[in-house]
Amino acid sequence: MKFPRKKMLMMKRLPEKTIERLSIYRRTLLNCLDQGRTHIYSHELAYMHNITAVQVRRDIMFMGYASSQKKGYDVKELIKVISRILDTEKGSNVAIVGMGNLGRAITSYFVGKRPKLNIVAAFDNDPDKIGHVISGVKCHDVRNLQEIIKNQEIGIAILTVPTDYAVELADKLILTGIKGLLNFTSISLNVPPHVCLEEYDMITSLEKVAYMVNRSA
């Protein structure tokens, strides 16, 4: 099944990069809240993320939120505003497809991190994993993928399977109604325009870093 190559096509009001930064801001703000901070200035938030204060203010202005010039942004209120942008009231159900080392690591790391993003199912073809609960998530036979995704209203899938199976499983996921794919395999995928695709190639990222290190040396 072939589709025109489209990356991260989504109907949204805010720019894609702004959405990414808002997610990062929220994590930082939650840490600040844990540390007892009640307010933060744009230049402080900018310094934490190696960007300009102008960029921070622009991102936050996109949401229609303003700060007190004397105290800066109210941390609790800013978290709430960002959450209204990034989250839905119902939340989103997520599946992990491929419970090898990477799939298990992602599941273990992510479970409980975001109440509005719930990993509710995992899939594999290994009999030693099927039926087991891994980090609180039950692993199902990949042959039951379509039924479980529909029954549990799963809209997002994280693909961590061997490269040889990536295209086939991505096509199956799309046919079941998946609207978002995070691809952690080393092969690029073709998806229809209505599917949001993010691809993470760790080998390429590492080679890029190695090249920059070697060049600077």
Q: What is the pLDDT of residues 49-73, one digit of tens each?
A: 999 999 999 999 888 887 767 889 9
> Does the structure show a pLDDT above 90 at 205?
no
My answer on whether 100 and 199 are in the same domain is yes
My answer on whether 119 and 177 are in the same domain is yes
For 113, the 3-state DSSP assignment is coil
Range of the domain at 190: 92-205
Residue with tokens 């009001």: 13
In which region does residue 153 sit, left (phi positive, over 0), alpha (psi from -120 to 50) or beta (all else)? left
Distance between start and end Cα atoms, the chain: 45
Distance CA 93, CA 53 (A): 35
Distance CA 64, CA 72 (A): 15
> Does the structure show a pLDDT above 50 at 5?
no
Distance CA 177, CA 38 (A): 42
Domain boundary among 85, 109, 125: 85
pTM of this structure: 0.78
Domain boundary among 51, 85, 119: 85
> Does the structure show a pLDDT above 60 at 76?
yes
> What integer best gives the mean pLDDT of the chain?
89
My answer on whether 105 and 201 are in the same domain is yes
Contact status, residue 196 vs residue 9, Cβ threshold 8 Å = yes
For 148, the 3-state DSSP assignment is helix
> Does the structure show a pLDDT above 90 at 88?
no
Q: Does residue 33 sit within a domain?
A: yes
Split into its structural domains, the chain has a count of 2
pLDDT value at residue 70: 81
My answer on whether 69 and 99 are in the same domain is no
Provide the pLDDT confidence category of residue 13 given band limits of 50, 70 and 90: low
CATH code of residue 161: 3.40.50.720
> Does the structure show a pLDDT above 80 at 123?
yes
